[in-house]
Chain A
Amino acid sequence: MAFFLDLTVNGLLIGCMYALVALGFVLIYKATSVINFAQGDLVMFGGYIAAAGLSLYHLPLWVAAPIALLLMLVLGFAVERGILRPLIGQPVVSVVMVTIGLALVFQGLAAMVWGAATINVPLPIPFQPFILWEIFISPINLVAAGLCVGFLVGFVYFFRRSRMGIAMRAVADDQQSAMSVGINVRIVFALSWAIAGLASGIGGIVWGNMLGVDTHLSLVGLKVFPAVILGGLDSVPGAILGGLIVGAVESVAAGYIDPYVGGGTKDFAPFIIMILALMIRPYGFFGREIIERV
């Protein structure tokens, strides 16, 4: 029982970070109907910028982290502006492929600028895990989960209460009506990408601290797909729930199955769950039921 609890709790803590990345993804999808295969690469890029600032240029944390986040914000904005706006109205496969192309460019660029070796993101957090009711918890997981929850709460507040947040929801709901009441849809598109960039930046910093930053960090983006399918592609609470589920599932599955098959369950179990979800309830827990059936 303790083993199961241990796996679940740690999985949920990791899940908070998946939720953060999934949020960026959902936000972009909700506002612009673009499925962003470069989400993981945005995380990687954020991690690289932070790691470069801290490890290569030896900036203090309170300078490096805001710079990284600001750059990610600008990057998200620039991507929407420069690359995705010309593609409005193109078929799905084109848009998918553009974000994949973008992912490749990010990977090549990051490795070219900062080298292929793994760089650390040193954060002032102790490494030693502590024990809470027989559960081993490492402080970084806790801090990361806290940061992610903080961002999520802040975002949801912004999304529900602020003027811009309401505009974003209106655009997600119905673009034409939003336009007709005077909402600037272009700004909303750009803002969605900018916030997604920001979320990825935070993800990159905490993940970079856990795993170290190299181009493999972009693989965390692949976990986003099971998360958002489970939660519903266009639902913010769904993204959060999906992220938590994926974190818990991969941790529990890895704990129980890995000893028998020699590893790799972590990368595989979420996708099995996802296929099942697609067959039973393709729009997820909270997604809008607008999937066209044939």
Chain B
Amino acid sequence: MALYPLPLAMASYALGVALLLTIPLVSDSHTMAIVNLIGLAAIGAIGLNILTGYTGQVSLGHGAFMMVGAYTAAILSARYGMPFWVGLPAGGAVAAAVGTFFGIPSLRIKGLYLAIATLAAQFIIEWCINHIPWISGGVQSTIYVPTPAFLGWEINTEYRRYFMILPVFMLAYVAAQNLVRSRVGRAFIAIRDRDVAAEIIGVDVFKYKLLAFAVSSFYAGVAGALWTYYLKIANYEHFILSTSISYLAMVIIGGLGSVLGSVFGATFITLLPIVLVYVVEGIASLFGFTYFAIADFLANLRLIIFGGLIILFLAIEPEGLYRMWGNIKRYFRFWPFSY
């Protein structure tokens, strides 16, 4: 509660929760699926933002850590019959262990070098999961997972999946907000801003760098495990290098060093291809093309727009959507004066 000291902030927080709870009342199954995808992405993006935005350590291996969580959950559920509320934290824990291991190079290197080291983590983890039959489960590295159930309720519709994802998301969000304003979070920020100075004022840089990797990959693992329960399948193709890049794009477009920004970024990047399909389809149908005729064109256009937006955002608003949101809020607070 102390997180939102002002009555207005409390009210907006309550409003946010109320909005999240009303979504299923007003949307159809298709919309729910999109909302669920956003929720899944947001959990992963918050995790990466703790590492990259708050601690300043670039990671190109986030997808791989999600993959670890996904396969952990899948193995536990499919082979050992564990319920999903065991697989979820277990996925997070195993991913955290693996992530911390790959964070060890960060003690000696940073910046560009760390980006490349985490790139290596992405390839090494992907290769291991693909080439160890016990993990990958044989054919095409795919593990099928039984429908998760909670207290006898099969989680088999988009509405029910929403209520599987929503509590995890809210927990992840509040936990991250609390973390970053605690002693630990301030240590992260100190390391990001100037690691040498952080050490001088008594921050144990070794410990906190690894901790950032652990927390971030725990989030990634939980997100990956949720993906598995959501799709009822674990497959490495959902967590390849381009996934890692997407998550990095989410935190950058959303706003580095902002938990709410991660949610904005996740929403933006998830919605982008969907909106693009509608727009291009609409334009194409004006000229009498069918969807299949433009499918290839659309895939390429998606890449170009995605890449172009990243470049554009960094050139125009490097602080991302969160900053834009802040600008809008400020505008209304000071209206009718500009400042």
Q: Give residues in A with beta carbon < 8 Å to B.
A: 35, 83, 86-87, 90-94, 96-98, 100-109, 111-112, 116, 222, 225-226, 229, 233, 261-262, 264, 267-268, 271-272, 274-275, 278-279, 282, 291-294
Q: B300 touches which one: A35, A93, A112 (CB < 8 A)?
A: A112
How far, in Å, is B179 (CB) from chain A's closest CB? 20
Q: Is B131 an interface residue (CB 8 A)?
A: yes
B119 neighbours in A (Cβ, 8 Å): 222, 225, 271
CB pair A100–B310 under 8 Å, yes or no, is: yes
User: Does B9 belong to the interface (CB within 8 Å)?
Assistant: no
Closest to A263 in B: B131
The answer to whether A93 and B256 touch across the interface, beta carbons within 8 angstroms, is: yes
A275 touches B52 (CB 8 A): no
Q: Please name all residues of chain A whose beta carbon is closer than 8 Å to the beta carbon of B209 when the two chains form the complex.
A: 294
Q: What's the tally of chain B residues with a CB closer than 8 Å to chain A?
A: 49
Q: How far is the CA of A90 from the CA of B318 in the complex (A)?
A: 9
Q: Which of A93, A103, A112 contacts B58 (CB 8 A)?
A: A93
**From DSSP, what is the main secondary structure of chain B's interface residues?**
helix
- 11 extra interface residue pairs, beta carbon distance < 8 Å, beyond A91-B56, A108-B304, A109-B300: A96-B115, A97-B248, A100-B307, A102-B311, A104-B303, A107-B303, A233-B112, A271-B123, A275-B120, A279-B105, A292-B195
Contacts A/B (CB < 8 Å), 12 sampled: A35-B116, A93-B58, A96-B115, A105-B311, A108-B300, A108-B307, A264-B130, A267-B123, A278-B105, A278-B109, A292-B110, A292-B195
Separation of A278 and B315 alpha carbons in the complex (Å): 31
Which of A98, A233, A272 has the largest count of B CB atoms less than 10 A from its CB?
Answer: A98
Q: Does B205 contact A (CB under 8 A)?
A: yes
CB distance from B300 to the nearest CB of A (A): 4
A271→B300 contact, CB < 8 A = no
A35 touches B124 (CB 8 A): no
Residue of B nearest to A86 (CB): B315
Which of A96, A103, A112 makes the CB contact (< 8 A) with B307?
Answer: A103
Complex CA distance for A21 and B248, rounded to whole angstroms? 25
Residues of B near A90 (CB, < 8 A) are 314, 318
How far apart are the CA atoms of A180 and B248 in the complex, in Å? 38
Bound-state CA distance A222–B122 (Å) is 12
- Would you call A294 and B310 a contact (CB within 8 A)? no
Per CB-CB distance, the 9 closest pairs between chain A and chain B, nearest first, are: A104-B307, A108-B303, A101-B310, A108-B304, A105-B307, A271-B120, A112-B300, A101-B307, A268-B127
| A291 and B113 alpha carbons, distance in the complex (Å) | 9
Asked if B226 is at the interface of the complex by the 8 Å CB criterion, the answer is: no
B109 touches A98 (CB 8 A): no
Whether the Cβ atoms of A278 and B108 lie closer than 8 Å is yes
- Assess whether A87 is in contact with B315, with CB atoms less than 8 Å apart: yes
Whether, in the assembled complex, B154 has its beta carbon less than 8 Å from a beta carbon of chain A, the answer is: no
**Chain A residues whose CB sits within 8 angstroms of the CB of B309 once the complex forms:** 101
In the complex, are the beta carbons of B123 and A294 less than 8 A apart? no
Once the chains bind, are A92 and B58 in contact (CB under 8 Å)? yes
Given A103-B307, A225-B119, A267-B127, are A294 and B196 neighbors across the interface (CB < 8 Å)?
A: yes
In this assembly, does B171 line the interface, its C-beta being within 8 Å of a C-beta of chain A?
Answer: no
| Residues on the A chain within 8 Å of B123, using CB | 222, 267-268, 271
Q: Given the complex of chains A and B, what is the CA–CA distance between A92 and B304 in angstroms?
A: 22
Task: Please tell me which one of the listed residues B116, B124, B127, B299 contacts residue A229 in the complex, with CB atoms under 8 A apart.
Answer: B116
Residues of A within 8 A of B296 (CB): 111, 116
